[in-house]
A and B are shown apart, each in its own frame.
Chain A
Amino acid sequence: MSLATATPPAPSAPPPSSPSTIAERAPRRRVSPERIAAILTLGAIVVASVIALADSGISIPSMIESWGNAERFFARVGTITFPEPGELLYLTALTIGLVLCGTLLAAVISVPVAYLAASNTTPGRGWQAFGRFVTVLTRAIPDVVLAMVFVLMFSLGSLPGILAIGIHSVGMISKLFADAIEQIDEGPRLAIRAAGGSKLQEFTSGILPQVLPSWVATVLHRNDINLRGSVVLGYVGVVGLGMEMSFAFKSLNYSEGLGIALVMFALCVVMEIVSSVVRQAMLGGTPSGRGLGDRVVRGVQNARARGRATAVPAAPRPASGGDLEAALRRPWDAVRIRNTIWGWVALAVVIGSVLVCNIQWGDLVTFWAKIPAIAVQFWPPSFGNYDAATMFGAMAQTIGIALAATLLAFVVSVFVGSLAARNVAPNGTVRTSMRLLLVVIRGIPEVILAIVLIVITGLGSQAGTLALAFGGIGLLGKLIADSFEEVKSGPERALRATGANRGQVYASATLPQGTRALIGHSFYLLDTNIRAATILGIVGGGGIGYYLLNAGQGSNYAVVTAIVLMILVTVLIVEGIAMWMRRVFR
């Protein structure tokens, strides 16, 4: 807007003197070699997924056939039964306590790890590499594998579960925490530096208060995930509802197995609502998420807001003037009372969790002595009685399950997710019902779905693929809907103005803007599915997990190591490809 730089607009057309045709004058389209490589890789992955899907034997007729199985199965189950109320209550408390302790352990460990891994707080490049290494490694080793190892080291009890959840969760929490640290406003931190604060004080007073909300949200989110995952931990000997459920199914007591599955499902829903309430209470404001819990909280808030017309809590203020002693006493306003109550409740929950877990603290001292003896059993890795072809075949089957499930989920999610986006859905009813569908799907823990499907369709990869695909729709559909709603509305408006119809606007304006997010989210799902597919084998869903469980129960620890290494390499490769894709298609 300065006076000096006001210039007439430059002529935009090139000089028309050249005699060649427009086609000759037009610049050649250039695509970088890296992009071509990425596109080829993407194509190869899609082809592999299609083949894997064709191999998995999922077909409409077989699904209809298995519906008959389902009817027969449910006829055999008869009525659903539950454990005795007292025992059920104890098991529920134990499961929640164990998961909470594990998540809290991870939450504490993740603070220093994130400090090292974040580029703006790390003391040096070496430390940063170390922090990132811890983040990637802890995320790559499934918590089930950790639990299997810890079950060997500790006398039975809750400690293996806590440590497995605690260590595995460090990866996700510290990664998201480090991301949050990198996005802070540097101002307050600089102000503390300028006042002569130390590095540690810069972190605790300038950075921590800014990232605390996101840290709490991440920890609560991870807690939900861990609760879902705790079912599988039961299959490898971690106490709680999951173990009871595995016992029930192994002894063909389907009525009780399904009963516990139902309890677990209810628990997951309740926990999501609770964590949403806690998030809201700690962070203030209305939850913006579209999860089940957030919806409930919003509903209650709206109802309450309608209930009272004007409720402005006038904060009592300390008297102004020279009476500083009086001002030293912080007034007990609504906010302070609420914070204090929440603080004590949180403390009580933590103490309760630790108590109910009945942790054998002595084990933490004695297990160091056992490490050498156990380590010897785990090293060197070998395939034991199995030949390499079988093992690689099983690993390939696991990858196949993940690929097929991701493809299935992708196809359905693009459809459901698009219709769930405000700017794509033809009307509010369609959008709301699609959103609701996604919320319901997300509410069902995949592992429980897999277990039920396995019982119905029998062991094998078909049940695993279907369960993963179903769960994937909940996640990917939501992410796609959110991304589509976030695209710029200008291009859509412009196309509508040219007279394009709804489908054309979607194809030419919405989809191109959302493509990057689509690719990114799909790889995120593939990443998640690879990890989940290894676990599915443990409950009977086919693939490498079956051999992992067998080797663990048969004390062939060298085989366990070999399988874990295979899983680790696969997960790291997929994560590497995913990171590359996100970068290239950014």
Chain B
Amino acid sequence: MSTPVGNEDPAVIDVTGLTKEFGRTVALQGASLTVARGEIVVLLGLSGSGKSTLLRHLDGLETPTSGSVRVLGQEVPRLSGRRLRALRSRMGFVFQQFDLVPSLTVLENVLTGALSELRGPRIGLWSYPRRLKLAALGHLDRVGLLDRAYQRADTLSGGQQQRVAIARALMQNPEILLADEPVASLDPESSEQVMSLIREIAMDEGLTVVCSLHQVDLALSWGDRIVGLRHGEVVLDTPAEGLSKAEVMEIYGRVATSTTELEAIEVELADAATDAASEPRLADGALRS
């Protein structure tokens, strides 16, 4: 993986002893994580295990209670204003609920990814430079949605909206891609499309990816490295290759005695993690093919 000119710091992400408390609940408890450039890391865990909170700290969307968060050689909690925005613009973020502006066109939604390199507010397609519009159309073509450029974002299906959100992240020319449960609200077919798209783009661009997931099968088949979180602590950190599902299950404090129980645990995992979403669950092994 050829890396663009970067910092002498070999680790693009270096989190040590990160603790975050929301009032009396502890979301993260001394979590540590180091990610090298070009790695594709999956954060695995139940809902409430701290995956989202960890991701949000990387982008400076949360301030830690204690601990250090270094991203691209900069201590994130110390940054603010213009310098924080500059760092954020080097990281793409894909959200579970896509978070497109429903009433804007697909193209304008993609263009909002470039706001950090523009000064001042932008309203309407005409207010973006032609150069960026061409780039945005290129990214839309990349995710296979060029023909939808001028439709309203809310006329698209969930999977299509998530692909638009990926195009929006690409608009930032990011070095790191953060994804928070990117397919938890999608049906199996769209999930597969979105996950392979992220993987493909990450390989092509040499992106560093940190993606949170709750489906064990998906995590094992998709990631290079699995980081398991439980109650805000990192309890597993190992290459995905050769890792078995039973080993993963152990990190949740359960020992699988039979296949039926394994399946039951997995159903529970899926249920707990996507309480809010009413979409059909990702079928077992849908991505193994």
Interface residues of A (CB under 8 A from B): 1-4, 185, 187-188, 190-198, 200-201, 203-206, 208-210, 212-213, 315, 317-318, 320-322, 324-325, 327-328, 330-331, 333, 336
Query: Which one of B100-108, B199-207, B209-217, B235-243 is at the interface?
Result: B100-108
B99 touches A191 (CB 8 A): yes
Check A196/B141 contact, CB under 8 A, given A2-B268, A201-B122, A330-B125.
no
Minimum CB distance partner of A5 in chain B: B268
A204 touches B123 (CB 8 A): yes
Residues on A with C-beta less than 8 A from B61 are 190, 193-194
**Please, how many angstroms separate the alpha-carbon atoms of A421 and B92 in the complex?**
51
Q: Which residue of A196, A197, A331 is within 8 Å of B150 (Cβ)?
A: A331
Residues on B with C-beta less than 8 A from A206 are 101, 112
B89 touches A3 (CB 8 A): no
Residues on B with C-beta less than 8 A from A325 are 134
Q: Is B121 an interface residue (CB 8 A)?
A: yes
Residues on B with C-beta less than 8 A from A196 are 85-89, 115-116, 172
Q: Is B97 an interface residue (CB 8 A)?
A: yes
Q: How many residues of B contact A (CB 8 A)?
A: 49
A197 touches B85 (CB 8 A): yes
A188 touches B100 (CB 8 A): yes
B268 touches A318 (CB 8 A): no
B101 touches A209 (CB 8 A): yes
* Contacts of B101-151 to chain A: CB distance below 8 A: 101-104, 112-113, 115-116, 118, 120-123, 125, 130, 133-134, 137-138, 141, 146-147, 149-151
**Please, how many angstroms separate the alpha-carbon atoms of A331 and B150 in the complex?**
8
Minimum CB distance partner of A317 in chain B: B147
A328 touches B165 (CB 8 A): no
Q: How distant is A404 from chain B, measured CB to nearest CB, in Å?
A: 46
A3 touches B268 (CB 8 A): yes
17 pairs of residues in contact across A and B, judged by CB atoms under 8 Å = A185-B99, A187-B97, A187-B99, A190-B95, A191-B93, A191-B95, A195-B116, A196-B86, A197-B85, A198-B116, A201-B120, A210-B102, A212-B103, A315-B151, A320-B146, A327-B146, A330-B150
Q: Which residue of A4, A193, A320 is within 8 Å of B147 (Cβ)?
A: A320
Q: Is B168 an interface residue (CB 8 A)?
A: yes
Residues on B with C-beta less than 8 A from A212 are 103
Residues on A with C-beta less than 8 A from B120 are 200-201
Minimum CB distance partner of A205 in chain B: B112
**Please, how many angstroms separate the alpha-carbon atoms of A336 and B113 in the complex?**
24
Q: Is B264 an interface residue (CB 8 A)?
A: yes
Residues on B with C-beta less than 8 A from A198 are 85, 115-116
Check A203/B104 contact, CB under 8 A, given A195-B88, A195-B113, A196-B85.
no
Check A324/B137 contact, CB under 8 A, given A191-B165, A194-B61, A197-B85.
yes
Per DSSP, are chain A's interface residues mostly helix, strand or loop, or mixed? helix
Q: Is B272 an interface residue (CB 8 A)?
A: yes
**Please, how many angstroms separate the alpha-carbon atoms of A107 and B93 in the complex?**
35
Minimum CB distance partner of B117 in chain A: A196
Residues on B with C-beta less than 8 A from A210 are 101-103
**Please, how many angstroms separate the alpha-carbon atoms of A203 and B112 in the complex?**
12
| Candidate in B59, B102, B123, B146 with the most chain A CB atoms within 10 angstroms | B146
For the complex with contacts A206-B101, A213-B103, 7 further pairs of A-B residues with Cβ separation under 8 Å are: A3-B268, A191-B95, A201-B115, A201-B118, A205-B121, A317-B147, A318-B149
Q: Is B271 an interface residue (CB 8 A)?
A: yes
Question: How would residues 247 to 288 of chain B score, 1 for a CB under 8 Å from any chain A CB and 0 otherwise?
Answer: 000000000000000001000100110000000000000000
Q: How distant is A195 from chain B, measured CB to nearest CB, in Å?
A: 5
Residues on B with C-beta less than 8 A from A336 are 150
Q: Which residue of A1, A3, A203, A205 is within 8 Å of B101 (Cβ)?
A: A205
Minimum CB distance partner of A195 in chain B: B113
Cβ-closest 7 pairs across A and B = A196-B116, A196-B89, A187-B99, A204-B121, A194-B93, A196-B88, A197-B115
Residues on A with C-beta less than 8 A from B112 are 191-192, 195, 197, 201, 205-206
Residues on B with C-beta less than 8 A from A320 are 141, 146-147
**Please, how many angstroms separate the alpha-carbon atoms of A196 and B59 in the complex?**
9
**Please, how many angstroms separate the alpha-carbon atoms of A191 and B88 in the complex?**
11
A327 touches B122 (CB 8 A): no
Q: How distant is B151 from chain A, measured CB to nearest CB, in Å?
A: 7
* Contacts of B39-55 to chain A: CB distance below 8 A: none
Q: How distant is A202 from chain B, measured CB to nearest CB, in Å?
A: 9
Minimum CB distance partner of B261 in chain A: A3
Check A1/B271 contact, CB under 8 A, given A187-B99, A196-B116, A322-B141.
yes
**Please, how many angstroms separate the alpha-carbon atoms of A100 and B255 in the complex?**
72
* Contacts of B143-189 to chain A: CB distance below 8 A: 146-147, 149-151, 165, 168-169, 171-172
